[in-house]
A and B are shown apart, each in its own frame.
Chain A
Amino acid sequence: MTPIYLSAAILLLANAGVGAWRIWHGPTSADRMVAAELITTTTVAVLLVLSALVEQPVLIDVALLFALLAAVAMANFVTRTWTLLREDSQARDEAGHD
Chain B
Amino acid sequence: MTALTVGFDLLLSAALLWLAWQALFLPLRFAAVVHFMAFNLLMALVWVRLEAPDVALAEAAIGAGVTGALLLTALGRLPGGGSRRAHPRRWHRYWRYLAIFSAFVSAVWLAWSVQHLPRPGLTTEIMAALDTTGVSHAVTAVLLNIRAIDTLLEVAVMLGAVMLVWSLGPALRPFAPATALPGLPALSRLLHPLFLLVPTYLLWRGAHAPGGAFPAGAVLGAGGILLLLADGVSWMQQPRYNLLLRLLLIAGLALFVVVGLGGLLLTGTFLAIPQAQAKAVILAVEVATALSIALMLMALYLYGEPGR
**Which of A's residues lie within 8 Å of B, judged by CB?**
2-3, 6-7, 9-10, 13-14, 16-17, 19-20, 23-24, 26, 29, 32-33, 35-36, 39-40, 43, 46-47, 50, 56, 58-59, 61-62, 64-66, 68-73, 75-86, 88, 90-92, 94-95, 98
CB distance from A81 to the nearest CB of B (A): 4
**Which of B70-78, B260-268, B276-284 sits within the interface?**
B70-78
CB distance from B130 to the nearest CB of A (A): 18
> Is A40 within 8 A of B225, CB to CB?
no
CB distance from B10 to the nearest CB of A (A): 10
Interface residues of B in 53-111 (CB under 8 A from A): 53, 56-57, 60-61, 64-65, 68-69, 72-73, 75-76, 79-81, 83
* Residue in A17, A32, A84 whose CB lies within 8 Å of B15: A17
Q: Which residue of B lies closest to A65 (CB)?
A: B60
- Give bound CA distance, A28 to B79, whole Å: 18
CB distance from B229 to the nearest CB of A (A): 5
> Is A33 within 8 A of B191, CB to CB?
no
Interface residues of B in 221-235 (CB under 8 A from A): 222-223, 225-226, 229-230
CB neighbours (8 Å) of A24 from chain B are 22, 26, 31, 35
B50 at the interface (CB under 8 A from A): no
> Is B65 within 8 A of A72, CB to CB?
yes
* Residue in B44, B177, B205, B211 whose CB lies within 8 Å of A43: B44
Using A79-B177, A90-B81, A98-B29 as known contacts, say yes or no to A58 and B209 having CB atoms under 8 A apart: yes
* Residue in B38, B53, B209, B229 whose CB lies within 8 Å of A75: B229
> Is B64 within 8 A of A94, CB to CB?
no
Q: How large is the interface on B (under 10, 10 to 19, 20 to 34, 35 or more residues)?
A: 35 or more
CB neighbours (8 Å) of A13 from chain B are 8, 11-12, 15
- Give bound CA distance, A91 to B79, whole Å: 9
- Give bound CA distance, A25 to B8, whole Å: 24
Q: Which residue of A lies closest to B184 (CB)?
A: A75
- Give bound CA distance, A84 to B181, whole Å: 13
CB neighbours (8 Å) of B202 from chain A are 61
Q: Which residue of A lies closest to B7 (CB)?
A: A10
If A20-B19, A83-B175, A92-B178 are given as contacts, then 16 extra A-B residue pairs at C-beta distance below 8 Å, sorted by A number, are: A17-B15, A33-B34, A36-B38, A40-B64, A47-B48, A50-B45, A58-B209, A66-B44, A78-B181, A80-B72, A80-B229, A81-B72, A82-B76, A86-B79, A86-B175, A91-B80
Q: Which residue of B lies closest to A95 (CB)?
A: B178
* Residue in A17, A39, A50 whose CB lies within 8 Å of B41: A39
- Give bound CA distance, A26 to B5, whole Å: 31
Q: Which residue of B lies closest to A33 (CB)?
A: B34
- Give bound CA distance, A86 to B133, whole Å: 55
- Give bound CA distance, A40 to B38, whole Å: 8
Tell which of B5, B64, B81 has the most Cβ of chain A within 10 Å.
B64
Using A58-B209, A76-B69, A84-B175 as known contacts, say yes or no to A68 and B18 having CB atoms under 8 A apart: no
Tell which of A35, A82, A92 has the most Cβ of chain B within 10 Å.
A82
Could you name 12 residue pairs across A and B whose Cβ atoms are closer than 8 Å?
A23-B38, A24-B22, A26-B28, A36-B38, A43-B41, A43-B44, A58-B210, A61-B211, A68-B198, A71-B187, A75-B226, A81-B76
Which 7 A-B pairs rank lowest in CB-CB distance, beginning with the nearest? Answer: A69-B65, A83-B175, A6-B4, A81-B76, A65-B60, A80-B73, A69-B64
- Give bound CA distance, A78 to B230, whole Å: 11
- Give bound CA distance, A63 to B90, whole Å: 40
Q: Which residue of A lies closest to B38 (CB)?
A: A39
B174 at the interface (CB under 8 A from A): yes
CB neighbours (8 Å) of B44 from chain A are 43, 47, 62, 66
CB distance from A93 to the nearest CB of B (A): 8
> Is B176 within 8 A of A84, CB to CB?
yes
